[in-house]
């Protein structure tokens, strides 16, 4: 795919300090993305305070926190909309600097956001290929609308979207719109999809749809960071849950250890209240 280019990775900085990435170059298994000791201040507010976060290939991580807990700041740092004041980011074990949304996209990080990412007056097909339009061969490489249309047909069917490729995005519901962005991430083979509060202001049907998209992403081996307020919503699809509160990571648990959401909730309650019974 001509669309996806991965930047030549920056070599780990040659310092006296050993590289702190947990990525193992021999077995090739290790976190896809690693955040190490990330700090971010907004004037005197310590919005993110020393957060470590690993996301493994194909893993769905639920990132949960209240408003103002620092989760959206963290998401902005991952998606390239903010620079951390301190801390390191590793991508497949290589230290990287994500200083713009384009940098993130070049690594393979796509962000799904309710208000951004789609041009409302464009069709679904045009939106999927915006910025990476397929061209016809020839002297003047004109945009190949037919190809765009047929490829979008595929994307729409992967995710069972009701909206057609030739329809304008503004007619789609909130959930479907995010489906278009998820479909785009899948088509261009993103490695990590950050779903930034995808369930906010959605109906039960809409939430169900978004969870379905997440499962589809996972099935195609794409890692997800699912940001939300509510634990109950993500429990079904996630593999790991990370809770941050007042800028600090409080909880990082594998879901496999818990059978129901209640068990998990109890454990979280224990951790947060410091009750170790």
Q: Give the residues lining the site for other proteins (CB under 8 A).
A: 101-102, 105, 111, 116-122, 126, 130-133, 135, 140, 142-143, 145, 162-164, 167-168, 171
Nearer to other proteins, 114 or 233 (CB): 114
Q: What is the largest CA-CA distance in the chain?
A: 74
Fill in the DSSP letter of residue 139.
S
Least spacing, CB of residue 244 vs other proteins, in Å: 24
The alpha helices in 222-260, defined as continuous H runs, are: 231-234
Least spacing, CB of residue 15 vs other proteins, in Å: 32
Least spacing, CB of residue 154 vs other proteins, in Å: 20
| Nearest-angstrom CA–CA distance, 106 and 27 | 24
Least spacing, CB of residue 47 vs other proteins, in Å: 22
Nearer to other proteins, 122 or 158 (CB): 122
Nearer to other proteins, 54 or 110 (CB): 110
Q: Which residue has the tokens 């280019």?
A: 5
The pair of three-digit structure tokens given for residue 264, joined into one six-digit string: 């998990």
- In this structure, how many other beta carbons lie within 10 angstroms of the beta carbon of residue 60? 24
Nearer to other proteins, 24 or 146 (CB): 146
3-class secondary structure, 58: coil
123, β-bridge pairs: 168
Nearer to other proteins, 120 or 263 (CB): 120
Least spacing, CB of residue 170 vs other proteins, in Å: 9
CA-based radius of gyration for the chain: 19
8 A C-beta contact, residue 162 and residue 175: no
């Amino acid at each position: 795919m001509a669309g996806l280019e991965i930047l030549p990775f920056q070599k780990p900085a040659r310092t006296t300090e050993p590289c702190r990435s947990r990525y193992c170059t021999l077995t090739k298994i290790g976190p896809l993305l690693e955040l190490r000791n990330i700090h971010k201040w907004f004037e005197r507010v310590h919005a993110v305070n020393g957060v470590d976060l690993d996301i493994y290939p194909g893993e769905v991580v639920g990132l949960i926190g209240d408003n103002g807990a620092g989760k959206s700041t963290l998401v902005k740092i991952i998606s390239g909309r903010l620079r951390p004041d301190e801390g390191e980011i590793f991508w497949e074990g290589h230290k990287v600097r994500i200083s713009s949304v384009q940098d993130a996209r070049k690594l393979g990080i796509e962000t799904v956001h309710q208000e951004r990412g789609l041009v409302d007056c464009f069709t679904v097909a045009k939106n999927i290929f915006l910025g990476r339009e397929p061209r016809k061969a020839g002297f003047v490489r004109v945009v190949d609308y037919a190809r765009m249309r047929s490829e979008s047909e595929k994307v729409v069917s992967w995710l069972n979207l009701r909206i057609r490729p030739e329809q304008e995005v503004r007619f789609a519901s909130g959930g479907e719109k995010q489906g278009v962005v998820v479909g785009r991430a899948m088509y261009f083979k993103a490695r990590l999809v950050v779903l930034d509060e995808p369930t906010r202001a959605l109906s039960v049907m809409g939430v169900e749809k978004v969870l379905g998209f997440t499962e589809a992403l996972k099935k195609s081996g794409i890692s997800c960071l699912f940001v939300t307020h509510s634990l109950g919503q993500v429990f079904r699809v996630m593999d790991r849950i990370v809770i941050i509160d007042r800028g600090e990571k409080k909880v990082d648990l594998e879901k496999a250890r818990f059978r129901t959401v209640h068990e998990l909730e109890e454990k979280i309650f224990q951790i947060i209240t410091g009750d170790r019974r």
